[in-house]
Structure 1
Amino acid sequence: MASLVAYDDSDSEAEPHPAGGGNDADRMTDVSGVDRPSGQDFSPCAADITNEGAPLAQHPGEELRGERLPLVRLWKNDPGSCPSQRLQWPRKEPEVPCPSGALPRPSSLWTSHAPASHVPWAAACLKQVKPPWAAPNAPSHAQSMSETTHRHASSLQRKRGEDCVVPYTPKRLRQLQALSSETLRTPDPEPQGPPADRAPAPLRMPPVVSETIQPHLKSQFRETKVPRKVLFHLRGHGGPVNSIQWCPVFSKSHMLLSTSMDKTFKVWNAVDSGRCLQTYFLHSEAVRAARWSPCGRRILSGGFDFTLHLTDLETGTQLFSGRSDFRITTLKFHPKDPNIFLCGGFSSEIKAWDIRTSKVVRGYKATIQQTLDILFLQEGSEFLSSTDASTRDSADRTIIAWDFRTSAKISNQIFHERYTCPSLALHPREPVFLAQTNGNYLALFSAVWPYRMSRRRRYEGHKVEGYAVGCECSPCGELLVTGSADGRVLMFSFRTARRACTLQGHPQACLGTTYHPVLPSVLATCSWGGDIKIWQ
């Protein structure tokens, strides 16, 4: 048998063997399968690499030394790239006659007897193509040789640490494949919402009125009672809930609007099911204020990202978008003109915007740093602003009365105590308003000039401690409700200023409280912990 490795200086196989080499016992066979005379000291050539770790050989005629030659990479695709002409494949192979009607095939494909170590690495990795004349179910000789070569090459690869036969898959692609397989096994979690640059999906408000609200729409007098139990516990915000508001349209008042520091505002069905109807991802920073429009089909929102958005709930489109030059903390629609709203925040100026033109139509500037809350009086001809301006002994600019049309100050000597007022609330039946103070009490003021403060009625017992704790009156006007920095919900009698009830509402500060406009004794509260409770 002849080795597939050709040597330039080797003797031809047709030449006779040396004298004394005719006896088979005196002959020896090397690892390549070639019979050699025993008189000569032959060793495997550099190409005869086996899995048993056979030593590397020098050229014929040299004595075997104790050192090893460097390994030669035999798996190059280009035969011309081999470092030595000794280690190249024969350029021309004889053809073996094939059956009649078949194509001629090379002899190395059928009768190659070279050891597996002679096969180049790239050739071992190539996919063997079955000849067209082979039996359909019988494996070809080349396929069996390929399997044998692959086994030897795999063991050699593990020992030598060479390139892997399996194609390398990047780590990121493996993670994506694992994630895809995991997605097929488990259902998708609830999506966090679309990006800020995409319009939210329409709310698709049902045209029918809530069955719970329907019987109470025609009643004229609604007596408010103290709630006793929790009807729904709404969880879904990932940050403190700053404010809550029922829809002002009575037939749609089952919907509750909530704003949060988690950059979103939500609409809930807080009467029938307690489920979130829609989440809006329109702001890139905390949403400090959001208000229902008087028609109940739109929501105006403003946040710490200086942006304003008016969203249509039925179509999900943005009817108005503007950018303020300060962080927004309070928004109020004009009670007579729904196209005008006031915007206040971390600025010394309050601005009036017109939705139709998307422009500021009026400004109200004072020597303050921040506007905390806004309250309209006298059907929109006047409004009050609560600010953070205070001195050591008095707060002469804490509450300022403005003329809406002329932007003139009506009075800035309303509250003379050294506390700021984070929120204001108007009584539904009498011309008075309430001011939440950081002195841990509710102050009562007249809603007409000169806006005197009542000295006889003061509602206290709760804690504010720097939180923007809200307050409100019941629809009948007999009860006042306020939150507290320790999580409690307190109710007072409007006439006597006595405490009517105390609810252990939330584990953290209770920031907002609001009565339902139609249903008697239904109260909604929100907290710094991010949850909302519906009481009944």
Structure 2
Amino acid sequence: MASLVAYEDSDSEAEPEPGVSFHAAGPRNAPPGGARPPGQDFASGILDVTKGGTQATKCGSCESATGRCLLLAPLGSSDPGSYPSQRLQWPSQEPEATYPTSGPSRPLWTTHAPASHVPLAAARLQRVKPSWDSPKSSFYTQSECEAIGSNINSFPRKRSEECVIPYTPKRLRQLQAPSSVEPQGPAAGPTPAPAPLSVAPTVSEFIKPYLDSQYKETKVPRRVRFHLQGHRGPVNNVQWCPVLSRSHMLLSASMDKTFKVWNAVDSGCCLQTYFLHSEAVRAARWSPCGQRILSGGFDFALHLTDLETGTQLFSGQSGFRITTLKFHPKDHSVFLCGGFSNEMKAWDIRTGKVVRGYKATVQQTLDILFLQEGSEFLSSTDASTRDSADRTIIAWDFRTSAKISNQIFHERYTCPSLALHPKEPVFLAQTNGNYLALFSAVWPYRMSRRRRYEGHKVEGYSVGCECSPGGDLLVTGSADGRVLMYSFRTASRACTLQGHTQACVGTTFHPVLPSVLATCSWGGDVKIWH
């Protein structure tokens, strides 16, 4: 005859999880021989986790200031209406969660965790419906918290057979995870704009005597005046402010995702650091007005930053990693950018759009140099063949985007940098053949066979070169850290400085002071020579 015994949870549709689960009247899957876990009284439903301690059966007040009570809900039931009145109470300023209050009382497991342990679900309670369908859901009741309050400090501090580790359902973990992370320090928010630059209101005392006089012959520097250390990555290039009255400021761009402005004449201190890029800053240039800085990096981003207010006057996406930037010498609202792409782009700051494109069958643009007051410009690329360097240096018409010539340099070396002579119609090209080549700056851009500046090493670095403001000296870095100067007329070596421990990749003369030189290295330091 069929059994007519009615079980209390016979209306539950939830499948019990494999393993040992407990019923109000006793265990469903009891161990052989009727053995029960030590310290458990199934009549009262309370697990005594203290060995030999007094079992709490009466609800009191959980007044412990340091302990936290962790409780597992009854297993094998999916009816939230069959649970006693429950209220979560925690020793913190968190909101309370109230649960259904009907049905007979069910036995519950209780345990205790160390004070330093806070479950993920308890870190930030919200008024959400608990997952009653999960047989492992764990919650507190006020009665259980009160029952453990007196003996809370005597509970074991490690996991054992008598200690049940609380389980948080996956759905609750996903719900509570975003809010359980507390912000550290100041409130999280958008990155603030850089503070205004600390610009001295007066002209530097070192520069003032030279402003009204004509630039004289450049003198060879002999010693280091300032050693600027602030970048955490290689410094790609340095540039003095083009406005003579503000030329005490030096701009440096680094692979550490920042560019800095220094007072490199008076104090050698850093005036401002800009964190605008998420990748390496490969190029940064002063605007001709000396009040803005244009920067581009490997994050494809372009930023024009106002120096004194720190605001972004222009931002754009180039579509490729940027390696070089140059302002138009006449129209200062237009600039060219090139990088890891077969196209160079001309941007207009006033509209924030690309106004012209220049395409060639190359993979990368290394440097850009304007000629003829901006009507033409040169681009050095990575294109080379075994016997000749076809398209290594290309001359362009700026307005029509047409190629004027791509048969300028016929040797099998690429040219990482270009420099224009300040007084004569010639330009210099740094080559990976470890020499500086001299070219005519007018069509057909012939290369000089008589003058070649040798003695330094390039070895694949983007080593820069430059002419002195008077045009009598040429300066270049070297892959072995040296700084070399050559006489422009005779191509003989004028001076060698043991500048850096790593490759010296950037050199630039001061536009006013006749004996001041700035150099930067792959090691991340900048030196000011006097």
Equivalent-residue separation in structure 1 for 2:486 and 2:157 (angstroms): 85
Indicate conservation of the 8 Å contact 1:204/1:313, yes or no: no
Corresponding position: 1:494 with 2:462: no
Look up the match of 2:435: 441
Q: Which SS does the other structure have where 2:395 is aligned? A: strand
The match for 1:307 among 280, 301, 310 is 301
Indicate conservation of the 8 Å contact 1:225/1:520, yes or no: yes
The alpha-carbon deviation at position 121 of structure 1 amounts to 8.4
Q: Which SS does the other structure have where 2:362 is aligned? A: coil
Task: Summarize the Cα distance change of 1:123–1:509 in structure 2 as closer, same or farther, 3 Å threshold.
Answer: same
Residue-by-residue CA offset, 1:21-68 (whole Å, 9 max, x unaligned): xxxxxxxxxxxxxxxxxxxxxxxxxxxxxxxxxxxxxxxxxxxxxx99
The match for 2:39 among 54, 62, 71 is 71
Match of 1:348, as an amino acid? N
The match for 1:349 among 343, 348, 359 is 343
Corresponding position: 1:382 with 2:376: yes
Look up the match of 2:233: 239
Task: Summarize the Cα distance change of 1:124–1:530 in structure 2 as closer, same or farther, 3 Å threshold.
Answer: same
Match of 2:431, as an amino acid? T
Aligned ranges for residues 433-512 of structure 1 at < 5 Å? 433-512=427-506
Look up the match of 1:534: 528
Match of 2:406, as an amino acid? N
Equivalent-residue separation in structure 1 for 2:190 and 2:62 (angstroms): 51
Q: Which SS does the other structure have where 1:215 is aligned? A: helix
The alpha-carbon deviation at position 222 of structure 1 amounts to 2.5
The alpha-carbon deviation at position 223 of structure 1 amounts to 2.2
Aligned ranges for residues 71-150 of structure 1 at < 5 Å? 71=39, 82=44, 117=54, 123=60, 126=63
Match of 1:353, as an amino acid? W
Look up the match of 1:515: 509
Look up the match of 1:419: 413
The alpha-carbon deviation at position 197 of structure 1 amounts to 4.9
Aligned ranges for residues 209-358 of structure 1 at < 5 Å? 209-358=203-352
Indicate conservation of the 8 Å contact 1:196/1:284, yes or no: no
Equivalent-residue separation in structure 2 for 1:156 and 1:521 (angstroms): 78
The alpha-carbon deviation at position 221 of structure 1 amounts to 2.6
Taking structure 1 as the reference length, what is the TM-score of the superposition? 0.68
The alpha-carbon deviation at position 71 of structure 1 amounts to 3.1
Equivalent-residue separation in structure 2 for 1:197 and 1:236 (angstroms): 21
Equivalent-residue separation in structure 1 for 2:512 and 2:466 (angstroms): 15
Residue-by-residue CA offset, 1:442-500 (whole Å, 9 max, x unaligned): 00111111111111110000000110000001111111100001111001111111111
Match of 2:284, as an amino acid? A
Cα RMSD over matched residues?
A: 3.3
The alpha-carbon deviation at position 211 of structure 1 amounts to 1.5
Equivalent-residue separation in structure 1 for 2:328 and 2:431 (angstroms): 25
Equivalent-residue separation in structure 2 for 1:476 and 1:208 (angstroms): 26
Q: Which SS does the other structure have where 2:245 is aligned? A: helix
Aligned length: 393
Match of 1:376, as an amino acid? F
The alpha-carbon deviation at position 275 of structure 1 amounts to 1.1
Q: Which SS does the other structure have where 1:251 is aligned? A: helix
Task: Summarize the Cα distance change of 1:321–1:348 in structure 2 as closer, same or farther, 3 Å threshold.
Answer: same
Which consecutive segments of 4 or more residues in structure 1 shift more than 4 A?
67-70, 116-125, 150-156, 158-164, 194-197
Taking structure 2 as the reference length, what is the TM-score of the superposition? 0.68
Match of 1:311, as an amino acid? T
Residue-by-residue CA offset, 1:404-462 (whole Å, 9 max, x unaligned): 11111111111111111000001111111100000000001111111111111100000
Match of 1:456, as an amino acid? R
Residue-by-residue CA offset, 1:273-304 (whole Å, 9 max, x unaligned): 11111111111111111110000000011111
Task: Summarize the Cα distance change of 1:82–1:268 in structure 2 as closer, same or farther, 3 Å threshold.
Answer: same
Equivalent-residue separation in structure 2 for 1:159 and 1:293 (angstroms): 65
The alpha-carbon deviation at position 157 of structure 1 amounts to 3.8
Equivalent-residue separation in structure 1 for 2:311 and 2:420 (angstroms): 32
Equivalent-residue separation in structure 2 for 1:529 and 1:315 (angstroms): 31
The alpha-carbon deviation at position 158 of structure 1 amounts to 5.6
Equivalent-residue separation in structure 2 for 1:408 and 1:448 (angstroms): 16
Equivalent-residue separation in structure 2 for 1:467 and 1:71 (angstroms): 74
Q: Which SS does the other structure have where 2:373 is aligned? A: helix
Residue-by-residue CA offset, 1:184-239 (whole Å, 9 max, x unaligned): xxxxxxx9xx9985422221423211112111111113321111111111111111
Indicate conservation of the 8 Å contact 1:157/1:163, yes or no: no
The alpha-carbon deviation at position 127 of structure 1 amounts to 7.2
Task: Summarize the Cα distance change of 1:527–1:125 in structure 2 as closer, same or farther, 3 Å threshold.
Answer: same
